[in-house]
Structure 1
Amino acid sequence: MPQCLSVIANLEITPATLSLVAKDRDRYGRIVGEVFDGPTSINLAMVEAGKAAVYPDYCKNPRYYATERSARAGHQSHQPWSDRTLISPPWKQRRIPAQV
């Protein structure tokens, strides 16, 4: 099971209480939003667990940045920013030409 799915599985989500708050649309027309299980933000839980990075183009909520800083400060080996081979966030990494 991918690590991000294990975080979601540990949240014991109740499908009946899931909701999506749409914030924006990306350049492909996909919804950018926040997923909630009742009052719990799944997005924030993923950032707190180190399984998601805050994307500044779509996130203006300072709580996310504070949570990411806190998670980075207490990073553990399973969190993405503890891996020294990851030199940039995913949205920047995609712009780097693939090496064959």
Structure 2
Amino acid sequence: MTGIFAGECYEICADFEQDFYDDFYKKLVKNSNITVLMKEIPYGVEVTSRENEKAVYRIVQNFNYNRIEIEFPKDGFEVWQGSYDGTIAGFGTVILRKQKQ
């Protein structure tokens, strides 16, 4: 195993239990200065971020067949596109937007 900390790269060539991966990625995020977009992301949901000179966007996509409950961060983002009532429909997409100051 090599490392991505301090500019290195990791290769994991084994089949570990899930706890190893959970701990490993938490440490990797903490030590790599990666921005955490949401604290809890349900299974089958993808969250990405994009920005331009005017705004920051968070794209939340539900790749599950069923509606899922998800809590969005309360840090200035508003629902810009899509339907959100505390849940996102199966295969639904919600785009959050926050104006830059």
Question: TM-score band (shorter)?
Answer: under 0.3
- Bigger relative contact order, structure 1 or 2 (CA pairs below 8 A, ≥6 apart): 2
Q: TM-score, normalised by structure 2?
A: 0.26
Structure of greater Rg: 2
